[in-house]
A and B are shown apart, each in its own frame.
Chain A
Amino acid sequence: GQQLNQSPQSMFIQEGEDVSMNCTSSSIFNTWLWYKQDPGEGPVLLIALYKAGELTSNGRLTAQFGITRKDSFLNISASIPSDVGIYFCAGVRTGNQFYFGTGTSLTVIP
């Protein structure tokens, strides 16, 4: 099945730093979603984006729906230890079929 490309694959940052990650595809999507997954748990929805160019925030998280509809970006400001986990993007097409990214593993060093 198709998987979207996420970068970077992993990040090691100091507590308090800002984080940026992105997700790219060769195909366009109608919706972009960002999820966070902790070990042994299911993904938790963080942000949903519905329109090209849309910028949406959820607390310290900000995500953008790329203007080409083929990419999306997630930023985390002032990282804290509980931000540790794997972040997945998901592109959604008509009919609500999801295509997940390869994941970005985030480690926050206190």
Chain B
Amino acid sequence: DAGVTQSPTHLIKTRGQQVTLRCSPKSGHDTVSWYQQALGQGPQFIFQYYEEEERQRGNFPDRFSGHQFPNYSSELNVNALLLGDSALYLCASSFSSSPEAFFGQGTRLTVV
């Protein structure tokens, strides 16, 4: 049973560019959440998707947007990249009825 998978694993982008990160949830899970983890910090909640809709959102600007597809996979899009967006982006999946979230290995984004 594959766990949560994220792609790509590493990415380098230039300031002002746009980026799309992808996530496939653990088999059977219907809820996907995205987190940003800066170096030396705990993960910060960006938003959560369920039934193809954004259900909750953390304190992140509108430059961060997402999507969930009918197969429950998800994308995170970041527009107008800033140097401060450099971080490990984590995707977590869960059943909608359970708080137990399982994380992928993350995508390391570097903005130069």
A interface, CB within 8 angstroms of B: 1, 3-4, 30-31, 33, 35, 40-45, 48, 88, 92, 95-103
CB of A102 within 8 A of CB of B41, answer yes
The answer to whether residues A42 and B103 also contact, given A3-B41, A88-B42, A100-B44 and a CB cut-off of 8 A, is: yes
Bin chain B's interface residue count.
Answer: 20 to 34
The residue on B at minimum CB distance from A101 is B42
List the B side residues contacting A97 at CB < 8 Å: 45, 48, 56, 58
The answer to whether residues A44 and B103 also contact, given A95-B56, A98-B33 and a CB cut-off of 8 A, is: yes
CB of A96 within 8 A of CB of B99, answer yes
List the B side residues contacting A96 at CB < 8 Å: 31, 33, 48, 56, 94, 96, 98-99, 101
Complex Cα distance, B47 from A19, in Å, reads 33
- Min Cβ gap A13→B in Å is 21
